[in-house]
Amino acid sequence: MLTRQRILIVDDDPSISDLVSLYLIKEQYDTKIAADGETALACFEDFDPSLIILDLMLPGIDGYGVCREIRTKSKVPIIILSAKGDTFDKVLALEMGADDYMEKPFDTKELVARVKAVLRRTSVYSAPETESKDVERVIYPGLTINITEYNVTYNDEFVEMPPKEIELLYILAKNPNHVFTREQLLDKVWGYDYVGDSRTVDVHIKRIREKIKDHDVWSIATIWGVGYKFILKDGPKI
């Protein structure tokens, strides 16, 4: 018997959380509702959700705080559902590790579609280790990107990165000197059905650059008006 995926809904408006829960239950998901940040963090530990739908404006610990705390211990996908529609709010949420952002008022069917899309993209993270016999990684001087175990080592130290940053870095580093447009990177990392903004790529590149600095042998270059590429003077060791 297959285990149903669990969705934690965090919103202080019961009319919204109950509606979202109803639609997700119809799609065969198990749901749990939390109305404030502190309850959300407790439910996260007890409920072990497959995905979290998170409002930003919460009593007590706000959504940013909840997202930040969860990202210190888990890569569980997070979809922000908020009335805050400013670019600053979206960028900040993505920088903290959110996987998607949807504004209120929202279409419930679109939200369900985004839940399914995010779960499809992140299902690899919960796959049993025995399914992968070979380690896939790219190694450069001072940098190792292990996509099998989803970790990055920079100057012999592990670097904390959410899954999307690791995937984006891996795609670029595995194809040195190849220019990718933002749309191509969205397709490869977020999936063809992603309905977000191409600025998502810029946000994640910015975060990657804050964590790893360019090397004498390699660097992440911006190709203005096009996208990005991983510049390499010497061939990669794989």
Q: What's 120-137 look like in SS3?
A: HHHHHHHCCHHHCCCCCE
Q: Considering only CA atoms, which of 9, 6, 164 is closest in space to residue 102?
A: 9
Contacts with 140 (C-beta within 8 Å, 6 or more apart), sequence order:
173, 215, 217, 218, 232, 236, 237
Mean pLDDT calculated for residue range 163-183: 92
| End-to-end alpha carbon distance in the chain | 40
Amino acid type, 204: H
Q: What pLDDT, on the 0 to 100 scale, is given for residue 211?
A: 94
In this structure, what is the dihedral angle of CA atoms 29, 52, 81, 226, given to the nearest 10 degrees? -110
Mean pLDDT calculated for residue range 148-159: 89
pLDDT tens per residue across span 86-118: 888 888 888 888 989 999 999 999 999 999 988
- Where do the domains of the chain lie, and which CATH numbers do they carry? 6-126 (3.40.50.2300), 130-232 (1.10.10.10)
Q: Which residues pair with 102 in a beta bridge?
A: 81
Estimate to the nearest angstrom the gap between the alpha carbon of 33 and the chain centroid.
22
Whole-number average pLDDT of the chain: 86
Q: How confident is the model at residue 225 (pLDDT cuts 50, 70, 90)?
A: confident
Ordered strands of the 227-232 beta sheet: 180-181, 227-232, 218-223
Alpha helices in 51-106 (DSSP H): 63-71, 87-95
pLDDT tens per residue across span 27-57: 999 999 999 999 999 999 999 999 999 999 9
Q: Please give the backbone phi and psi of residue 197, each rounded to the nearest 5 degrees, phi first.
A: -90, 145
Q: What pLDDT, on the 0 to 100 scale, is given for residue 192?
A: 56
Q: Residue 130: is its pLDDT beyond 90?
A: no
Does the predicted TM-score (pTM) go above 0.85? Answer: no
